[in-house]
């Protein structure tokens, strides 16, 4: 699958440090310009925001709604909202269109739709209830835990 590694002329092999281990993330390909750089910036923003249990799920071939899903947990509603705002800032800083953001009034579950990349930020108990990782590919050998 060599063409799956290509994103335009750029190759994506971002990693996140997790307890001393570096885990490569799957490549991202789609309509979002500089998708690889965008994913790296989002993952860095999540780490900087102290998001917990960061997971990326490659959706290519599973659905047409997006190419990548990133799921993360915030410690409280205010933390979840702040994380989502940081992701919106990443979009703005990269010159991307403003993402659609759903769930900000309550901040139990905030969805940031950045086109080919969807980011879900949950409070822990809400994330456990919906269990998106299991629905979209958790526990599959080809999916990688990013944080």
Structure token pair of residue 119: 């980011």
Structure token pair of residue 42: 């989002």
How is residue 5 annotated by DSSP?
A: G
Query: pLDDT at position 59, please?
Result: 80
Q: Could you tell me the pLDDT band of residue 72, with boundaries at 50, 70 and 90?
A: very high
pTM exceeds 0.85 for this model: no
| Average pLDDT value for the chain | 75
Q: Could you tell me the pLDDT band of residue 32, with boundaries at 50, 70 and 90?
A: low
Query: pLDDT at position 26, please?
Result: 46
Query: pLDDT at position 38, please?
Result: 87
User: Which domains are seen in the chain, by residue range?
Assistant: 2-145 (3.30.460.10)
Helices (H), 8-147: 35-48, 77-93, 124-130, 132-136
């Amino acid at each position: 699958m060599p063409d799956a590694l290509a994103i335009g002329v750029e190759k994506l092999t971002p990693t996140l440090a997790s307890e001393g281990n570096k885990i490569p993330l799957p490549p991202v390909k789609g309509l979002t310009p500089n998708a690889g750089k965008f994913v790296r910036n989002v993952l860095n923003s999540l780490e900087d925001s102290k998001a917990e249990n960061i997971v990326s799920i490659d959706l290519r071939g599973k659905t047409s709604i997006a190419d990548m899903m990133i799921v993360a947990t915030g410690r409280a509603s205010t933390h979840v909202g702040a994380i989502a705002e940081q992701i919106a800032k990443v979009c703005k800083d990269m010159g991307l269109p403003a993402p659609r953001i759903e769930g900000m009034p309550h901040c139990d579950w905030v969805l940031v739709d950045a086109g080919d990349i969807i980011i879900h930020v949950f409070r822990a108990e809400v994330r456990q209830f919906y269990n998106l990782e299991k629905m979209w590919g958790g526990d599959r050998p080809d999916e990688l835990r990013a944080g």
